Amino acid sequence: MNRKTKGKRNQLQAAAGALRDLTPPIPADGKPGLPDEAGPIAPADGKPGLPEPEPEPEYLDYSEEDAEGEDEQSNEAEEITFTEKDRKDLPLLEQRADSGGRQQAEAIREIRQRQLWRLILDDDGQQLFSTFEEYCQDRLGHPRQWVTHLTNWLRVLEEMDRLGIKERLTVKAAQGLLFGRLEIAGGLRAVLEEAKEDGVTLDRDHLREIVIRRAEFNYWSTDGKDGITKPAATNYAEYKKDLATVKELGDGPSSSDVVTKAKALDGDLAENIVAICKQERVLPRPESLLVVLTGEGLKQLVGRLKDLGREQAEITERKARLKELNQQLREGQKKEREEKKALEQELKAKGVLKVKAKPQDDPSQSPSPTPPEVEDDEATEPEPEREVSTSLQTALENLDVALTGDWPEEESQLNAVLLKAQECETTLAEVVAKAKELLADAQEPDAVPSGNG
C-alpha cells in the first residue's frame, strides 16, 4: 500500500471518528478563547437506531479534517520533511491560535493540516508531542473536543460563505447542527431556511431540534418499517404539526406498550387507547402515537389524554399528600408516647407517681372492672390495653399507606408484596384469635363450688 493510499484510508477513518465524536456533541470545558461556549448538551432525544451517514466525497459533511491520521504514531511521521518556511510559520500560527474567533480557528486548522505541531522538540531533540491531542492539551491549553467544535464551526462558516448565506453562527450554535445527521436532514441550507421560516433564533437548541425532526422524518418515512417506525403523516409539514400536538402531553408517566395493546383489541383504536390509559393510569409514548395517528384524529385523542393526564397528576399529588399526613401523624404519636413515657419515669423516680399493688385474686369474688387506683390523680400508669390498641392503630395506618401508595408493576416485585401481605394476614388472624379467646375468658362466670350444705 503506497503512501497516497494509506493517507486516504487514514483520512476516511479519522473523518468517521470525528462524526462519532460529534453525535451527540460533547461540551467544551469553557476555556477562554472559544466564542460563546457554554455548558453540557443533553443527549439526543430521537428514536434509537437512526444511522449516522458515512461521509461522501460529493457531500460537505462539515466533519473535522483528520489529515493523514495524525493521532496515530506511525512511521509516516518520520518521512515528513519540514521546510524553513514551516519553522517560521509555526510561531506565527501559534500566536494567532491564542487570539480568538475565526482567525484562531484558521490557525489551529493549518497547524493540524500541515502537522506543524511535530516541529516542537524536547531537550533531547526528539518530537515532544506524540499526538495532536497532546499538543492541544499541553500547548494550547484546550482538549481536542474544543478544537473539534472550533474547526467544525469554521467549516460551517466557509460553507455559508459558499452558499451566499448572510447569517453567522456562534460556535455554540454550530454544535446544534449534529453533523452526523445533517445530510439526511437535507443539508445546511434546508435547516437554516426552516429556522428562518419558523422565526426562531439560530441557536444550538433550535438548530438541534430542526435537524433531529427533519432527519427522523426523512429516515423513518423512507426506510422505516411500516407499522413500527414509519410515521402516519404523509409529508413533513403534517409530521411537524403532529410533533407539536404530541408535545402537549408533557413528561408524565408513559409506556410504549399502550398503543401495542390497543391495536391488539377489537374496536376503535382511539377508544382502546383511552381505556387502557384509564385502567393502567399511564399515557402512551408520544412517538408511538405518531405511528398510528395524524392530523385531526391525533389532535382529538391528545385532547382526551391531556384530561387523563391532569386527573392522574391530581391523584398522584393527593396520594403524596396522604402519605405525608400519615407520616406526620405517626411521628406526632411517637413523639407524644416518648414524652409521656419520659414524664412517667421522671415522676416515678421522684416518688410522686406510685401504683398500688394489685390485690390477690379471690376466687369467691368476681373480677373487679375498676382499674388499679393511683395515688396521684394527675398522672396514671400506662395501661396494657392502650399499648395494644396503639400498636394496632399504627399497623392499620401503615396498611392504609401501603394500600394507597405507588404499587410496583413487575411480576417479581408484586410477588414479594403478596408474600409480605400474607405474612400480615397470618399475624392479624393470630391477633384476632387471641382477642376472642381473652374476651371469652373474661365473660365466663366463675364456677360455683359444690357442697353438701
What tens digit of pLDDT does each residue of 388-402 get? 777 787 787 778 777
Dihedral pair phi/psi, residue 249, rounded to 5°: -70, -20
Closest by alpha carbon to 216, among 175, 256, 184?
A: 184
**How far, in Å, CA of 407 to CA of 310, rounded?**
20
Domain boundary among 166, 193, 208: 166
Give yes or no: residues 48 and 162 share one domain.
Answer: yes
Q: Which band of pLDDT confidence, cut at 50, 70 and 90, is reported for residue 308?
A: confident
Give yes or no: residues 28 and 151 share one domain.
Answer: yes
Give yes or no: residues 116 and 251 share one domain.
Answer: no
pLDDT, position 16: 40
Give yes or no: residues 111 and 245 share one domain.
Answer: no
Share of the chain above pLDDT 90, in %: 35
- Whether 105 is in a domain gets the answer yes
Q: Which band of pLDDT confidence, cut at 50, 70 and 90, is reported for residue 114?
A: very high
- Whether 323 is in a domain gets the answer yes
Question: Is residue 430 helix, strand or coil?
Answer: helix
Give yes or no: residues 145 and 12 share one domain.
Answer: yes
pLDDT at 451 over 90: no
CB 284 within 8 A of CB 258: yes
Q: Which band of pLDDT confidence, cut at 50, 70 and 90, is reported for residue 8?
A: very low
- Whether 159 is in a domain gets the answer yes
- Whether 44 is in a domain gets the answer yes
pLDDT at 40 over 70: no
- Whether 359 is in a domain gets the answer no
H runs (alpha helix) in 250-377: 257-263, 269-280, 286-292, 295-349
The number of folded domains in the chain is 2
- Whether 334 is in a domain gets the answer yes
Q: Which band of pLDDT confidence, cut at 50, 70 and 90, is reported for residue 417?
A: confident
pLDDT, position 222: 75
Choose the weakest-confidence range: 56-70, 118-132, 138-152: 56-70
pLDDT, position 361: 53
Closest by alpha carbon to 179, among 142, 146, 212?
A: 212
Give yes or no: residues 143 and 264 share one domain.
Answer: no
pLDDT, position 251: 79
What tens digit of pLDDT does each residue of 335-375 get? 888 888 888 888 888 777 765 555 555 555 555 454 444 44
pLDDT, position 15: 41
Give yes or no: residues 145 and 247 share one domain.
Answer: no
Instruction: Report how far apart, in Å, the C-alpha atoms of 446 and of each of 239, 361, 367, 378 are.
Output: 87, 12, 9, 35
**How far, in Å, CA of 170 to CA of 1, rounded?**
41
Domain boundary among 300, 318, 350: 350
Q: Is 15 exposed, middle or buried (0-12, 13-18, 19+ CB in 10 A)?
A: middle
- Whether 445 is in a domain gets the answer no
Dihedral pair phi/psi, residue 111, rounded to 5°: -60, -40
What tens digit of pLDDT does each residue of 158-169 get? 989 998 988 889
Domain of 296, in residue numbers: 236-350
pLDDT, position 284: 92
Give yes or no: residues 158 and 243 share one domain.
Answer: no
Give yes or no: residues 152 and 243 share one domain.
Answer: no
**How far, in Å, CA of 334 to CA of 341, rounded?**
11
Choose the weakest-confidence range: 81-90, 205-214, 329-338: 329-338
Give yes or no: residues 126 and 38 share one domain.
Answer: yes
Give yes or no: residues 155 and 247 share one domain.
Answer: no
Closest by alpha carbon to 281, among 254, 241, 249, 251?
A: 254
Domain boundary among 350, 385, 408: 350
Q: What is the mean pLDDT of the chain?
A: 76
pLDDT, position 4: 41
Closest by alpha carbon to 71, among 15, 30, 123?
A: 15
Query: pTM for the whole thing?
Result: 0.54
- Whether 429 is in a domain gets the answer no
**How far, in Å, CA of 222 to CA of 105, rounded?**
38
Give yes or no: residues 141 and 47 share one domain.
Answer: yes
**Interior angle at CA 425, CA 422 and CA 427, nearest 5:** 110
